[in-house]
Structure 1
Amino acid sequence: MKVLIVDDEKHVREAIRYFVPWEKYDVAEIFEATNGQEAMEIILEQQPAVVFTDMRMPLMDGAELLEWIHRYSPYTKTIVISGYQDFSYVKPAIVYGGIDYLLKPLNSKQLISAAERAFQKWEEEKRERERAFRQNIQLNVLRPLYWDKKLSELVGGTVSFQELEEALVEELGLPRNAKHCRMAVLSLQSSGGLLLKKFRGDIQLTSFVLVNVCNEMVSLRKQGFAFRYWQEGADVAVLFWNRAEEAEERLLEINESLKQAYGISLDIGLSRILPFPGGISDAFIQARQSLAERNLLLKGKRIHEYLEGSSEAGRAGGTMADDLLEKLGLSLLSCDSDKIVRSFDDWADFLAGTGVLTISGLREWEDRLRNVLTKWRLEWVGAEEVSKAEAPFPSAIEAGGDFSFERWKDSLKSYIMGMFGESKLSRSSDSRIVREIRDYLDRNYQQEITLQHIADRFFLSRENVSRKFKQVTGENLSDYLTNLRIDKAKELLQNSDMRLSRISELIGYEDEKYFSRVFKKATGLTPREYRKGDFDENN
């Protein structure tokens, strides 16, 4: 604790210092002032627990000082020490909560007793303030959880607006005359889940951050409130109840904040403007549907407004796309790689040509494609091989979060052709050694590997290694190793902040400059350019 003694007489200040056993009350510092103005400056800077003050002083007397302390330092306890019994001096001490009024000359027992009461009172109030502070912290933690739950129930229709109306008005600033509402929903899985990856897959933390960003734009403007949705179909929801026509503008600001902070923009579903409060549930359904049925072919569009009939347009292609997918299955059975490529291109290009491909439609077509591939592999390599876990389809999300149809098409084609090559290797006993070589490269690409090293390891001549690898895979061994390393480098460049020298080491190049030359030759870009996201969809 700190103490301030205010008196224009030095001997009085010294007497107070002498009589009170400060160490007993754990007093760390004692300050002195000769008038009220000096005292004010010290109180503002040091926040003393107790002030001993005279009543008659130059510049500012004790009555004015007591009134000022009561207003600007209410936790400070005061003890008045005066040479006058006049009630006009006693009254301010009573009005402004003084602990005691002591008369000069000072009586040591009275002074010590008053000081003890002041210190005890300050300690009691300090403990109460700390208890209230801890309680407030708990309430501040629980309050968002409470509103997450209640607003989730409100938009889900399991709790009525009337049950929450008063709390919404008092705590969240809902205007009593609100007549319209609008809902927006955000999914952490949109944009390839890139924001979630920034927080190492922690859904709770990512949702918490996203809600805070939304409420900086929405709640602080008293336009509505963002909350974590407790059921499936959305991770974060925003309920607009004021100036709903400005909702899209707020959502654009939210995305701009996310882009500046994390380099990512999210896809957001937005409902129409509906009556409040009766339209809350319908607005939520519309927002969730507009997000799920967003058209992936509209590149750069992030705010997806609800449109009637959008769900019917979700599955692009219909019967024609089914027929083309069936032809792809037949071409796989033919074992003709050119036919496979042409059939896949025909199917994928037809989907792009429809002009509409929703996220649900994309998943449905990927499921149908996986069924075709599984059926082919059952006939080609047998049930035992098919039962092994398959790798997931490659992602087609660019660095900024946009879906790239061309990247999806090219990566999926590579996936299918890689599977086709795997199946050929499985069927050909003569090519088993090549498969072993390739598996070895896949596991050890980060080490220094030469043709001679491979030849020695597998007891073949260098010429035999090159010839067999080319015959079976259709690719030079050196090209395969380079492409493997470049693919790994791309992953590290997009998903980590590692230095280029470290990435170079991890993929098997000791020389960073040589790695940069190889990378640019393969992709057309330097590693730094690729990391910035300046790459073409086909690279």
Structure 2
Amino acid sequence: MKAIIVDDERHVREGLLLLANWSRFKIDTILQAENGDEARQIITAEKPDIIFTDMRMPKTNGVELLKWLNQSHLNAKTIVISGYDDFEYMKNAIKFGSFDYLLKPIDPSELNEVLARAVDEVLQQKKAKELEQEKEKVVSEIHPIYCDKWLTKLVTIADWTQSERDFFQREFQLHLDSQPLTVAIFSMTMLKSFIFEGNGELAVTELLSIAKPIMEQEQAGFVFSHLENDEELVFISHSSRRLESALTQVKRALWSRYQIKPHFVIGPAHAHPKESYLKASTKLASYNLINQETESLTAHHNRKWLLLDYKDELKWTIECGHKQQLDLLLHSIFESIEKNHTITFRFLKNWENHFDILRSHWLQKEELPSQRQLYWTQDGRFSFHHFKQEKREDFFQLFDLVATLGEQEQTNMSKVASYIESHYHYEISLQEISEHFYLSREYISRKFKQEFNQTITDYLMNFRIKKAKELLANPNLKVYEVAEAVGYQHDKYFAKVFKRIVGLTPSDYRQTYYQKRS
């Protein structure tokens, strides 16, 4: 914290330096000035928190300094020191917002009491300012989300109460009753994958920084991030003409910055924003990326180019380890797509969703690598050649992962079998094995049976009986002792299980064993 002493008398300044308990109040910088002119220069440069000033000084006097401080809004606490108990001085001190008034000669206890109050008020004001700045920061961060939330509702909900209509008019100047609204949609798919390497949040932030100022300048309405569809940026306006003008400028800005041609579609003006949005959304979904135009959706309904139509063939080639066969199958799929001369955003989304479904057959959700979407040319146009390359790479990556998982699964199940063989004489549960190997019970059950052609329960039971047969060869062991040694607490139950598997009771088996040996 900083303080300044303004007085033309040196001994007064030195006296204040000695009398005030500066360290107690954590004031580490104490400045000095001989007159008001010098004080103004120092105060402007250093911005002290506490100002002690005399009233009678050469050049700029105390009254003029107080007046200047009041007009400067520096928020410093000014303490007037005067050798005169003059009403005019006190009146001016009050008028120009001084914190307190001390008479010479200065009483040390009174000085430090006033200084303590001044410092306390400075600290409170600083804390209040910090809280206000923090509040403003939070509001500035929350406000865009708040707007996105309500504007997303505007294009997804059809019916509004009167209070909600009033809210949109008050907050956004959107008149839902009297004027139709036009909705436009910008597809983030290409921008996100091609320019921002899959970082959707960065793509949205960048595009909003371009589009918002243009929409405001054109008074064209609002642009917002659709909270239920991160692939879309939505524009909404009462004026189709202004909206189209703004979109043209956004396109130019994107071309200037990234040399790309973005994909925009505009819905018809409608009294219900949701209807305009749905029409625009339908147009965007059916936008043919190959010839850059919107086509009728009905033309695509019966075409067999959904990825899941080929799921059985794809699973078979991947699980059997036939990489060449997989390549031939993908070639056939790509050919059937290419013959239709149509690829839409809906098709791309379906492909990605279906590929996730397909690979989730082998991989848990958290293990799924992200799909690359680098199928765009330098100017942002769709490239079927790039698409084929990327999707073939996705499948070959999946092929290699499944092959690696197969090897790991064999190793894991062998470890499970070894664990059972080492702990067969204890009570072993599937839950215990699951926790030991950090694998789900369902996964272990399914994979173990695939590997050993029997359940874990049967494997444990057969191994126990195998060990029991070895122990029964020892004539010194009682049957109940053998039962306990292989993990059965009740010899009668052990005998029942033993007979079911071996076909003889433990006693009969022992007798037969010795008969054969003799």
Please classify the TM superposition score into its range, dividing by the shorter chain length: 0.5 to 0.7
Residue 64 (1) aligns with residue 64 (2): yes
CA contact (8 A) 2:204 2:225 kept: yes
Aligned to 1:351: 340
Give the Cα–Cα distance (whole angstroms) in 2 for the partners of residues 177 and 43 of structure 1. 58
CA contact (8 A) 1:6 1:34 kept: yes
User: Residue 270 of structure 1 is aligned with which of 266, 278, 281?
Assistant: 266
Residue 312 (1) aligns with residue 297 (2): yes
Query: What does residue range 291-440 of structure 1 map to in structure 2 within 5 Å?
Result: 291-298=284-291, 310-312=295-297, 315=300, 347=336, 350-352=339-341, 357-360=343-346, 397-398=375-376, 400=378, 401-408=380-387
Give the Cα–Cα distance (whole angstroms) in 2 for the partners of residues 359 and 395 of structure 1. 12
Once the 2 structures are TM-superposed, how far is the Cα of residue 75 of structure 1 from its aligned partner? 2.0
Q: Which residue identity lines up with residue 248 of structure 2 in the other structure? A: E
CA contact (8 A) 1:188 1:195 kept: no
Once the 2 structures are TM-superposed, how far is the Cα of residue 191 of structure 1 from its aligned partner? 5.1
SS of equivalent residue, structure 1 residue 25? coil
Post-superposition Cα deviations, 1:374-396, rounded to whole Å, max 9, x if no partner, equal 9xxxxxxxxxxxx8799999967
Once the 2 structures are TM-superposed, how far is the Cα of residue 41 of structure 1 from its aligned partner? 2.6
Query: What does residue range 231-246 of structure 1 map to in structure 2 within 5 Å?
Result: 231-232=228-229, 234-241=231-238, 243-246=242-245
- After superposing the two structures, state which structure 1 stretch, 241-250 or 12-21, moved more: 241-250
Give the Cα–Cα distance (whole angstroms) in 1 for the partners of residues 10 and 78 of structure 2. 19
The alignment yields a C-alpha RMSD, in angstroms, of 4.9
Post-superposition Cα deviations, 1:272-298, rounded to whole Å, max 9, x if no partner, equal 4x26xx342233223322322222024
Once the 2 structures are TM-superposed, how far is the Cα of residue 408 of structure 1 from its aligned partner? 4.2
Give the Cα–Cα distance (whole angstroms) in 2 for the partners of residues 297 and 348 of structure 1. 11
Q: Which residue identity lines up with residue 228 of structure 1 in the other structure? A: S
Query: What does residue range 153-168 of structure 1 map to in structure 2 within 5 Å?
Result: 153-157=153-157, 160=160, 163=163
Going from structure 1 to structure 2, the CA distance change for 1:163 and 1:250 (only over 3 Å counts) comes to farther
Higher Cα Rg: structure 1 or 2? 2
Query: What does residue range 118-267 of structure 1 map to in structure 2 within 5 Å?
Result: 118-157=118-157, 160=160, 163=163, 179=179, 181-190=181-190, 193-195=193-195, 197-199=197-199, 203-204=200-201, 206-219=203-216, 223-232=220-229, 234-241=231-238, 243-253=242-252, 255-256=254-255, 259-260=257-258, 266-267=262-263
Give the Cα–Cα distance (whole angstroms) in 1 for the partners of residues 55 and 176 of structure 2. 52
CA contact (8 A) 2:251 2:262 kept: no
Going from structure 1 to structure 2, the CA distance change for 1:207 and 1:244 (only over 3 Å counts) comes to closer
Once the 2 structures are TM-superposed, how far is the Cα of residue 206 of structure 1 from its aligned partner? 4.8
Once the 2 structures are TM-superposed, how far is the Cα of residue 341 of structure 1 from its aligned partner? 12
In structure 2, runs of 5+ residues without a counterpart are 314-323, 405-518
Post-superposition Cα deviations, 1:440-487, rounded to whole Å, max 9, x if no partner, equal 9xxxxxxxxxxxxxxxxxxxxxxxxxxxxxxxxxxxxxxxxxxxxxxx
Post-superposition Cα deviations, 1:40-89, rounded to whole Å, max 9, x if no partner, equal 33223222111111223344332332233233234211111123333332
Going from structure 1 to structure 2, the CA distance change for 1:43 and 1:137 (only over 3 Å counts) comes to same
Going from structure 1 to structure 2, the CA distance change for 1:66 and 1:312 (only over 3 Å counts) comes to same
Going from structure 1 to structure 2, the CA distance change for 1:346 and 1:239 (only over 3 Å counts) comes to closer
CA contact (8 A) 1:2 1:27 kept: yes
Once the 2 structures are TM-superposed, how far is the Cα of residue 123 of structure 1 from its aligned partner? 1.4
Q: Which residue identity lines up with residue 398 of structure 1 in the other structure? A: W
Going from structure 1 to structure 2, the CA distance change for 1:223 and 1:64 (only over 3 Å counts) comes to farther
In structure 1, runs of 5+ residues without a counterpart are 330-334, 375-386, 423-434, 441-539
Give the Cα–Cα distance (whole angstroms) in 2 for the partners of residues 141 and 410 of structure 1. 40
Residue 108 (1) aligns with residue 97 (2): no
Tell me the TM-score normalized by structure 1. Answer: 0.56
Q: How many residues are aligned here?
A: 377
- After superposing the two structures, state which structure 1 stretch, 11-20 or 204-213, moved more: 204-213
Going from structure 1 to structure 2, the CA distance change for 1:123 and 1:9 (only over 3 Å counts) comes to same
CA contact (8 A) 1:195 1:264 kept: no
Give the Cα–Cα distance (whole angstroms) in 1 for the partners of residues 172 and 283 of structure 2. 27
Going from structure 1 to structure 2, the CA distance change for 1:404 and 1:40 (only over 3 Å counts) comes to same
Give the Cα–Cα distance (whole angstroms) in 1 for the partners of residues 129 and 371 of structure 2. 57
Once the 2 structures are TM-superposed, how far is the Cα of residue 22 of structure 1 from its aligned partner? 0.4
Give the Cα–Cα distance (whole angstroms) in 1 for the partners of residues 383 and 343 of structure 2. 12
Going from structure 1 to structure 2, the CA distance change for 1:51 and 1:153 (only over 3 Å counts) comes to same
SS of equivalent residue, structure 2 residue 287? coil
Give the Cα–Cα distance (whole angstroms) in 2 for the partners of residues 66 and 191 of structure 1. 58
Aligned to 1:285: 278
CA contact (8 A) 2:191 2:203 kept: no
Give the Cα–Cα distance (whole angstroms) in 2 for the partners of residues 119 and 414 of structure 1. 68
Going from structure 1 to structure 2, the CA distance change for 1:110 and 1:198 (only over 3 Å counts) comes to same
CA contact (8 A) 1:396 1:404 kept: no
SS of equivalent residue, structure 2 residue 144? helix
- After superposing the two structures, state which structure 1 stretch, 110-119 or 228-237, moved more: 228-237
Once the 2 structures are TM-superposed, how far is the Cα of residue 9 of structure 1 from its aligned partner? 2.5
Give the Cα–Cα distance (whole angstroms) in 1 for the partners of residues 76 and 197 of structure 2. 50
Give the Cα–Cα distance (whole angstroms) in 2 for the partners of residues 139 and 391 of structure 1. 36
Aligned to 1:521: none
Give the Cα–Cα distance (whole angstroms) in 2 for the partners of residues 105 and 205 of structure 1. 65
Going from structure 1 to structure 2, the CA distance change for 1:178 and 1:63 (only over 3 Å counts) comes to farther
Aligned to 2:25: 25
Q: Which residue identity lines up with residue 249 of structure 1 in the other structure? A: T
